[in-house]
Amino acid sequence: MSKQTRYVTTPIYYVNDRPHIGHVYTTTLCDVYSRAMRSLGHDVFFLTGVDEHGQKVEQSALEKGMEPQALADLNSEEFRSIMEMFDLTNDAFIRTTDKEHTMQVRAFVSTLLERGDIYLGTFEGWYDEGQEEYHTETSARDLEYTSPISGKPLVKATEKNYYFKLSAYQERLEKFFETHPDFVQPPSRKNEVLGRLREGLQDVPISRTNFSWGIPMPSDSEHVIYVWIDALFNYITALGLGDKTNDWHEKRHQYWPATFHIIGKEILWFHAVIWPAVLMALELPLPRCVYAHSFWISEGRKMSKSLGNFIDLETIESYLEEYGMDAWRYYLTTQGPLGATDADFTAEKFKETYNAHLVNTVGNSTSRVTAMINKYYDGIVPSELNDGERVVLLGFDWPEKCKHAVQNWEEAMEAFSIAKAVECGMALIREVDLFINDTAPFKLAKDESKQMELGAILYQCLETLRIATMLLSPVIPNKTREFQEAIQAETCSGNLQEQAQWGGIKPGAKVTKVALFPRV
């Protein structure tokens, strides 16, 4: 297979807040995708990081009696530390205070000024302080002059600002959406964007003067660059696209355009409309897909600190202690809000999912099969052949089933349908269980004349589990590695399609018993 590049990004997170389930969720999705793409041999660049400028950070710092930079340093470290804590394999971690970033943002803004895509004008409208987002009179009225995110009133704003000529891109954007129907996922989110786009685009302010914690506008240091413009640029500054002499450019420029920008639904407009228009203005290629997932709510309600249902790092740690990291990753990626509806995080559902999927399916099947091979064959893998021919029982064509599962898994992963991809591995495991029940190897073991069948059944079960766990390894990397080591199988190393071919386990290999997921 030819090696291709894959570039996947998370939003960069505001450092005025502490990390919580939402940040961990989006980053875990990107991690699963990255691991899957690496296992297929692709050249992956997985970027995450932090958004450090803007009024909110300046205010938080002020309240704490700190310099904004000191607060940003402190909180950025906390975000960086969650990457290790959750086994997240990001290739880089960008901070918008990195000088490589700020220099390139100024260079991009200068180019846009020179081309007339940014100009000085007067803004009259409404401002959402929490989101640092501007609304026109019409959209503010639709929102009843209240922030849809924080519920706080929008603030009337009139100021001299630099503007980005978004209105000039109306037609080009419409055309782009027509010719790239999969640009925004899932489809219902695309329809929201198209609806708003049809109302007509207005130019957007991209600078502020009422605070100073930001990147100064080139040649007008009274203005700082609006935090959203600063932040969106991270996706290309991290690749050094704005400075050919930059080390980042040399090593990373080949990853653009992004394969997936993964974001939450509340920031779709910036990513699906403003960002593409900025890229058009800079004559850069557009990303392949912006995937906007929905939100985690908790115990049936919007997460909130005052309701006590907020899933912060401390709450997450209690789950990790009780269930382990892989169980956490599994729950997030298979039960999470990747589609168009919000997902409810409940302690009950977590436990149910853990028991049904991990204990009773993955855990049970792997332990049953390794235990039987130990009991009946002293842990030595038997053969599935009779006179060189595979013994087929009850019509189960395992090589064919596995081949299909691998193909479907790859397709689902490529489309970022993570839960669907996981299901490809889980379905195989459930079939192994059925097969064991139907063929009843524990009965055959008592019959001298059925030894050939018994060997074939156990070989086929073990080999299918080997392939199925490869498909699960991006989500539950630690437990699948433990299993692969116990059956002396190669761990996945960038050539999954070959490694997942039937026959990887050789008769005669030594297998030890496993117990991957203890009952909680």
**What does the binding site for ligand ME8 look like in residue numbers (CB under 6 A)?**
11-14, 17, 22-23, 25-26, 51, 231-232, 234, 263-264, 266-267, 295-296, 303
The two three-digit tokens of residue 478, written as one number = 């630690």
What is the spatial distance between Cα 320 and Cα 322, in angstroms, rounded to a whole number?
5
Q: Which is nearer to ligand ME8, 262 or 516 (CB)?
A: 262
Nearer to ligand ME8, 39 or 76 (CB): 76
Q: Which is nearer to ligand ME8, 234 or 499 (CB)?
A: 234
Q: What is the maximum alpha-carbon separation in the chain?
A: 90
Q: Name the residue with tokens 């997030």.
A: 332
Nearest C-alpha neighbor of 244 from the set 236, 253, 235: 253
Distances (CA, A) of 7 to 238, 322, 356, 412: 11, 34, 34, 17
Smallest distance from ligand ME8 to CB 18, Å: 10
- Shortest approach of ligand ME8 to residue 13 CB, angstroms? 4
What single DSSP character describes residue 215? P
DSSP-assigned beta bridge partners for residue 118:
164
- Considering beta carbons, is residue 296 or 328 the nearer one to ligand ME8? 296
Helix (H) or strand (E) holding 248: helix 247-252
Q: How far is the CB of 333 from ligand ME8 (least distance, A)?
A: 12
Query: Strand pairing partners for 185?
Result: 291
- Residue number with CB closer to ligand ME8 (228 or 483): 228
Kindly tell me which of 45 and 295 has the beta carbon lying closer to ligand ME8.
295
Side chain identity at residue 350, one-letter code: F
In this structure, what token pair is assigned to residue 380? 């030595």
Q: Which residues of 134-162 are buried (b: 16+ CB within 10 A; e: fewer)?
A: bbbeebbeeeeeebeeeeeebeebeeebb
> Among positive and negative, which fits the CA dihedral 112, 117, 118, 120?
positive
Q: Which is nearer to ligand ME8, 295 or 323 (CB)?
A: 295
Q: How far is the CB of 314 from ligand ME8 (least distance, A)?
A: 17
Does residue 494 contact residue 41 with C-beta atoms inside 8 Å? yes
Write down the least CB distance from residue 327 to ligand ME8, Å. Answer: 19
Question: What is the smallest separation between the CB atom of 342 and ligand ME8, expressed in angstroms?
Answer: 8
Of residues 42 and 56, the one with the C-beta less far from ligand ME8: 56
Q: Tally DSSP H helices, then E strands, for the chain.
A: 22, 17
Report in angstroms how near the CB of residue 233 gets to ligand ME8 at its nearest.
8
Measured from the CB atom, is 309 or 408 closer to ligand ME8? 309
Minimum gap (Å) between residue 11 Cβ and ligand ME8: 4
**12 in Cβ contact with 234 (< 8 Å):** yes
Report, in Å, the least distance between residue 417 CB and ligand ME8.
17
Residue with smallest beta-carbon separation from ligand ME8: 22
Residue type, 45: F
* Angle of helix 398-414 versus helix 21-39 axis, rounded to 10: 130
Q: Is the peptide bond between 153 and the residue preceding it cis, with omega within 30 degrees of 0?
A: no
